[in-house]
Amino acid sequence: MDCWHCKRTAVGTCRFCGRGICEDHVETHPYILDTFRSGDVNKVLVVEDALFCGACTPRPDPVELPELK
Amino acid sequence: MPPKLKKAGRDTSVLGSLDRRLKRPVKAASHGTSKRERPVWPGLWGTLDAKSGQKQVQAKKRAGKSRAAKKARRPRAPADIWKLLGKRIDPTQYRPKLAADIEIKHFPLRWGNDYVMAANPRDLLHYRLEPGEVELMELMDGTRTVRDIVLERFHESGDLELSGVVDLVMSLQAGSFLDPPYVDTDAALEKALDPISPARRKAREFLKTLMIEWSDADKLVRWMYNHILKWFFKVIPLALSLVVAITGFVAFYIVVHGHRFSLTSESAATGGLIILGLNYFLTFVHELGHATVMIHYGRRVKSAGFMIYFGSPAFFVESSDGLMMERKQRMAQSFAGPYAEAVIAGGASLIVLAFPGLFISSILYKFAVINYFLIFLNLVPLLELDGYWILSDLIQVPDLRPRSLQFFRHDFMHKLRKRERLTLQEVGLLLYAVLGVFFTIFTLYSSVFFWEQIFGSLIARLWHGGLITRGILVAIALFVGGPLIRGALKIIGWLVNHARVAWRQLRFKLETKWRVEAAELIDAVPLFDDVPVEVLNELAGRVKLRAFRSGQSVVRQGERAEAFYIVRSGVLHAIEESEGGKERVLRILGRGESFGELAVAQASRRRATVRAIDDCEVFEIDKGSFDRLLADMIKVPAFAPTFQDLAELRDLGCFSHLEQDELVDLLKEGDWFNVGPGELIVKQGEAAETFYAIHSGQVEVIEGKKVVGSLGPGAYFGEIGLLLHVRRTATVRALTAVRLYRLNRKAFDRLMRSAFKKGTLNPHAAVDRVAHH
């Protein structure tokens, strides 16, 4: 797989969208593995520095989709 | 890749758990399966579709009960969950709705430079907006999509304000001005991943910014206002305070002329420390004065705190909510700080005059001097302090200082060079800017002198008091002088940068000869169209001259292309290397010949090795410069739109204000087409899906059988169909040969989406709209 940005050989893939990324273009972004609810508190399991391509846009603002309840 | 987390041998990822939940048999998906048959897992996508379809069917069932079961129940096609999701996240489909509690206030000004303030009362965030932006905000009622707003605006103004609308919507969303409020999980995560106590966070913040902010200050000020300070807004207490301020100043004048006290007479270090403490009290009173007026007029204090400001310890009140007050109220708020100080200084002066022999009188005298000095600094409108805000509100020029400095730095120099006359207003701006610069220098000098007079003895005692006190003094100096050190470092950085630029210019002058030669050789390369002079100039500045010895390779076969080359002198061979190691000379390159441009343009690997046969020199142009300056001139497949394409598009009035990258997107999304005289472009009554802009030629507009008008270059039509979702309201026919640019509804929406992607949803983008007092 090649890097999305420079077409060099990729060393990893973006955790969010699957694009290939080389060492020069790799970025990191926290990734939520799982969510839990403990009492009134939401808790999340996080990878602090998951690989991120910088090209896709993981939305920080949750999207409402009531049809999926 | 991060290691995959396992929980008791199970996949714990979000998708994993979703999969598990969905892998349970789904009733809606198991129609037709016998009891023996195991339900077939319809896949994640199928299950999601089935789930949403099932939900719709259930909703229908509930509705059906009330409507009676007259009609046979027809199976409903499941909704496409992905389409729904696509709609939810499509920025063009986003329906911005201004939150109900947003406060918007118009401020008409004498000079026509009206502005509008918008406040988000939940977060006490304030945006200063242009009246035109507020008109856009009024359209954000939750019924219109972003696309509708852009189109509606376009219909009214004739300008396609893509980025303007998009930027405003994004800023408002990021500032939680819209309903529902913006939730930033990234920020929340970042905070949660940095688990330090609030006290440590504050300490860390203080070391970084030399500022401690307290967000609950409003409660304290409100309590003080309700219990004590509100009485100062009654006539009698106000009159009494005025009497103290005035008589106190007279007393101070008498004391000064009595020559009984001097600033340097008391040399005790404890005296210096008491004055330091009183000075803190003074700034606290000053800021309390501002905050109290805000509370009095029904506004809120966002925060307050302590900071080191230009080396001096200071309290501050974040009073951006005061920007929502009326002009006279704002002036009262600005004046309240110095006035509170004047009352305190007056009281101190009266005590000194009445009881000159008191042990504390000497300290109170110094305190009064500091007080009046600070009142003077605060009220002089040449510094960006209270006096400035009073003046700018008085003359109704809210951006007086930046405007005058802007004029001084740019327009004035230009006018001076062109020997143009200055208008009266420009003379005023110039005068203010010049006086402001001189007064800032004077203030810095006098402050150092003044503080040296007041605290000189304390500093001397600490310096001569031994190693420990000297260490304390250095620590205090470093702490207090932090911003000055940072400022000095910034100045050094600025000087280094300027020196670097100057050196580059000097070197460029020395290299002019071969750079011009390089530009001429590039221009002569047959692969490129005529290269414009401005591009050649820029290339001449970016080209590098590289020398190679005989036998040395310039590029190697298989390498990724990062530059292209033109031979200046010497001979080189382009060699193809076979897998067996055999070499075949493909081409012999001499002066003026180029190599590597196609590999750069196509981002492919080198197809041959180029090796110097004798000592040679080549000009090298890196990929970045090539892509930006030459790619669209290469006479092989088009790699980028030409400048001419963009210029042609910009000629159309409705696109004239678009940025370069927006025009490039527009070129990708729409297309040019020509029609002959008499041809119909739009037919009344047909479905409207396309917008047209006329580049050249004339068209006539026909309603029914009647010609209602004609349109020429720069005009546009077809927007009504896009705006109102109606069929064509008129026929448009070409009178002459016409060249048009057309953009369909889908292309328009794509363009909008890309405008959103280019923006960054970052609250700091709106910082310039947040005012701090």
Q: Is A54 on the interface with B (CB under 8 A)?
A: no
pLDDT of B274 above 80? no
The Cα angle at residue B581 between residues B578 and B586, in degrees rounded to 5? 50
Which pLDDT belongs to residue B764?
Answer: 33
Could you tell me which of B5, B768, B25 has the C-alpha nearest to residue B399?
B768
pLDDT of residue B716: 82
Do the beta carbons of residue B534 and residue B579 sit within 8 Å? no
Indicate whether A66 belongs to any domain: no
Residue A67 located in a structural domain: no
Q: How far apart, in Å, are the Cα atoms of B348 and each of B269, B345, B619, B749?
A: 21, 5, 77, 69
Mean per-residue pLDDT, B413-433: 83
Q: For chains A and B, what is the number of CB pairs under 8 angstroms?
A: 73
Cβ atoms of residues A15 and A47 within 8 Å: yes
Query: In this complex, which of A12, A51, A65 lies closest to B85 when CB atoms are compared?
Result: A65
Q: From CA B368, how far away is CA B363, in angstroms rounded?
A: 9
Q: Which residue, B228, B245, B236, is CA-closest to B343?
A: B245
Residue of chain A minimizing CA distance to B84 = A65
Which residue type, as a one-letter code, is found at position B629?
L
- B673 has pLDDT over 60: yes
B659 or B71: whose pLDDT is higher? B659
A67 Cβ contact list (under 8 Å, min separation 6): B52, B55, B56, B79, B81, B84
pLDDT score at B767: 32
Q: Is residue A17 part of a domain?
A: yes
Residue A69 lies in a domain: no
Mean pLDDT for B611-635 is 78
Strands (E), B430-497: none
- CA dihedral (B519, B524, B525, B528) positive or negative: positive
pLDDT of residue B758: 54
B394 CB near a chain A CB, below 8 Å?
Answer: no
Q: Which domain holds residue A28?
A: 1-57
Phi, psi dihedral angles at B614 (to 5 degrees): -130, 180
Q: Which of B55, B84, B193 sits opposite A69 (nearest CB)?
A: B55
Core vs surface per residue B62-88: b (16+ CB within 10 A) or e: eeeeeeeeeeeeeeeebeebeeebeee
**Which chain B residues contact residue A8 at CB under 8 A?**
560
- Ranges B177-186, B536-545, B622-631: which has the least confidence: B622-631
Contacts of A33 in chain B (CB under 8 A): 5, 12-14
CA distance, residue B67 to nearest chain A CA (Å): 23
Could B2 and A62 be called an inter-chain contact, meaning their C-beta atoms sit closer than 8 Å? no
Residue A68 within any structural domain of the chain = no
- Identify from B44, B47, B186 which residue to disrupt to test chain A contact, counting A C-beta atoms within 10 A and taking the largest count: B186
Complex ipTM more than 0.85, yes or no = no
Q: Respond yes or no on whether the N-terminal peptide bond of residue B180 is cis (omega within 30° of 0).
A: yes
Which B positions 137-176 lie with beta carbon below 8 A of chain A? 173
Chain B hits for A65, Cβ within 8 Å = 81, 84-85, 88
Backbone angles phi, psi at B273, to 5 degrees: -65, -40
Compute the mean pLDDT over every residue in chain B, rounded to the nearest whole number: 77
* B308-333 pLDDT per residue, tens: 665 566 778 888 888 899 999 999 99
Q: Which residue has the higher pLDDT, B159 or B17?
A: B159
Residue of B nearest to A48 (CA): B193
Phi/psi class of residue B697: alpha, beta or left (left: φ > 0; alpha: ψ in -120 to 50)? left
Q: Do A50 and B2 touch (CB under 8 A)?
A: yes
Closest Cβ–Cβ partner in B12, B84, B184 for A60: B184
Query: What are the C-alpha distances in Å from B231 to residues B228, B292, B610, B692?
Result: 6, 11, 89, 67
pLDDT category, B204, cuts 50, 70, 90?
confident
Min Cα separation B621/chain A (Å): 18
B678 Cβ contact list (under 8 Å, min separation 6) = B733, B734
Judging by beta carbons within 10 Å of its beta carbon (0-12, 13-18, 19+), is residue B447 exposed, middle or buried?
A: middle
Looking at the complex, does the CB of residue B757 fall below 8 Å from at least one CB of chain A? Answer: yes
Q: Which of B220-224, B465-469, B739-743 has the lowest mean pLDDT?
A: B465-469
pLDDT over threshold 80, residue B467: yes
CA distance A39 to chain B (A): 18
Tell me the pLDDT band of B676, cut-offs 50, 70 and 90: confident
| Residue from the list B12, B55, B79 with its beta carbon closest to the beta carbon of A33 | B12
Any idea which residue has 């150092």 for tokens?
B448
Residues of A in contact with B184 (CB under 8 A): 60-61
- C-alpha B686/C-alpha B688 separation (Å) is 6
Residues from chain A that touch B79, judged by Cβ atoms under 8 A, are: 67
Output B447 or B65, whichever has higher pLDDT: B447
B positions 549-568 inside 8 Å of A (CB): 560
* CB contact residues (below 8 A), chain B span 5-24, against chain A: 5, 12-14, 17
Cα B143 from Cα B293, distance rounded (Å): 40
- What gap in Å lies between CA B759 and CA B742, rounded to an integer? 25
Per-residue DSSP letters for B705-742?
TEEEEEE-TT-EE-HHHHHH----SSEEEESS-EEEEE
Say yes or no to pLDDT of B30 above 50.
no
Q: What is the mean pLDDT of residues B533-559?
A: 84
Q: Residue A33: inside a domain, yes or no?
A: yes
Q: Do A12 and B14 touch (CB under 8 A)?
A: no
The answer, for B97 touching chain A at a CB cutoff of 8 Å, is: no
Tell me the pLDDT band of A51, cut-offs 50, 70 and 90.
very high
**Does residue B206 carry a pLDDT above 60?**
yes
Cβ-based neighbours of B16, under 8 Å, separated by 6 or more: B10
pLDDT-based confidence at B454, cuts 50/70/90?
low
Which residue of chain B is at minimal alpha-carbon distance from A64? Answer: B88
B2·A31 Cβ contact <8 A: yes
Which of B7, B10, B12, B14 to probe the A interface (max A CBs under 10 A)? B14
Q: Whole-angstrom Cα distance, residue B20 to residue B489?
A: 58
Collapsed DSSP state (helix, strand, coil) of residue B548: strand
Give the distance from residue A1's alpha carbon to the nearest chain B alpha carbon, in angstroms. Answer: 14
Backbone angles phi, psi at B161, to 5 degrees: -90, 65
Nearest CA in chain B to A32: B14
Q: What is the largest CA-CA distance in chain A?
A: 48
In 3D, which of B89, B91, B87 has the Cα closest to residue B169?
B91
Radius of gyration of chain B (CA): 37
pLDDT (0 to 100) of residue B269? 61
What's residue B331's pLDDT?
Answer: 93
Q: Can you give B312-342 as a three-state secondary structure string?
A: EEEEEEECHHHHHCCHHHHHHHHHHHHHHHH
Q: How far is A36 from chain B (nearest CA, A)?
A: 11
Where b means 16+ CB within 10 Å and e means fewer, B220-237 reads ebbeebeeebeebeeeee
User: Radius of gyration of chain A from Cα atoms?
Assistant: 15
CA distance B646 to chain A (A): 25
Q: For residues B316 and B304, is the Cβ–Cβ distance under 8 A?
A: yes
pLDDT over 80 (residue A8): yes
* Helix/strand number for chain A, H first, E second: 0, 4
Partners of residue B192 in chain A, C-beta under 8 Å: 44
Three-state secondary structure string covering B359-390: CCHHHHHHHHHHHHHHHHHHHCCCCCCHHHHH
**Would an 8 Å CB–CB cutoff place A41 in contact with chain B?**
no
pLDDT tens for each residue of B383-392: 878 899 899 8
3-state secondary structure of B285: helix
- DSSP β-bridge partners for residue A27: A52
pLDDT at B310: 57
- Structural domains in chain A (count): 1
Which residue in A7, A47, A57 is closest to B2 by CB distance?
A: A47
Range B483-496 average pLDDT: 80
Q: Where is mean pLDDT largest: B30-44, B65-79, B233-247, B299-313?
A: B233-247
What tokens does B380 get? Answer: 């002089």
Backbone angle region of B641, left / alpha / beta, with phi > 0 → left and psi within -120 to 50 → alpha: beta
**How much is the pLDDT for B12?**
40
Asked if the C-beta of A64 comes within 8 angstroms of chain B's C-beta atoms, the answer is yes
> Looking at the domain assignment, is residue A3 inside a domain?
yes
- % of chain B beyond a pLDDT of 70: 78
Asked if the C-beta of B60 comes within 8 angstroms of chain A's C-beta atoms, the answer is no
Which residue spans within B385-481 are E strands per DSSP? none
> Taking the CB of residue B543, how many other CB atoms lie within 10 A of it?
22
Q: CB contact, 8 Å: A8 with chain B?
A: yes
DSSP secondary structure letter of residue A66: G
Residue of B160, B550, B177 whose CA lies nearest to B149: B160
The one-letter amino acid at B500: R
What is d(CA B246, CA B238) in angstroms, rounded to the nearest whole number?
Answer: 12
Q: Residue A63 and residue B84: Cβ atoms within 8 Å?
A: no
Task: Please judge whether A60 and B85 are an interchain contact, meaning their C-beta atoms are less than 8 angstroms apart.
Answer: no
Give the model's confidence band at B410: pLDDT under 50 very low, under 70 low, under 90 confident, else very high.
Answer: confident
Residue A47 counted as domain residue: yes
Is B183–A62 a contact, with Cβ atoms under 8 angstroms apart?
yes
**B680–chain A nearest CA distance, Å:** 43
Chain A residues within 8 A of B189 when measuring between CB atoms? 30, 32, 44, 46
Of the residues B87, B189, B193, the best mutation for testing chain A's interface (the one with the most A CB atoms within 10 Å of its CB) is B189
3-state secondary structure of B48: helix
Mean pLDDT, rounded, for B484-504? 83
Q: Does A32 touch chain B (CB under 8 A)?
A: yes
Q: Nearest by CB to B182, which of A33, A51, A61?
A: A61
- In this predicted model, what pLDDT tens digit does every residue of B697-716 receive, in sequence order? 899 988 888 888 888 888 88
- Pairwise CB contact (< 8 Å): B13 & A33: yes
* Site of tokens 């002009």: B327
Q: Please tell me what DSSP assigns to residue B141.
A: B
Which pairs with CB-CB distance under 8 Å and at least 24 residues apart come from B527-533? Answer: B527/B594, B527/B597, B527/B634, B527/B635, B527/B636, B528/B630, B528/B633, B528/B634, B528/B635, B529/B633, B529/B635, B531/B630, B531/B633, B532/B643
A31 CB neighbours in chain B (<8 A) are 2
Residues near B308 by Cβ (< 8 Å), separated by ≥ 6? B210, B211, B314, B479, B480, B482, B483
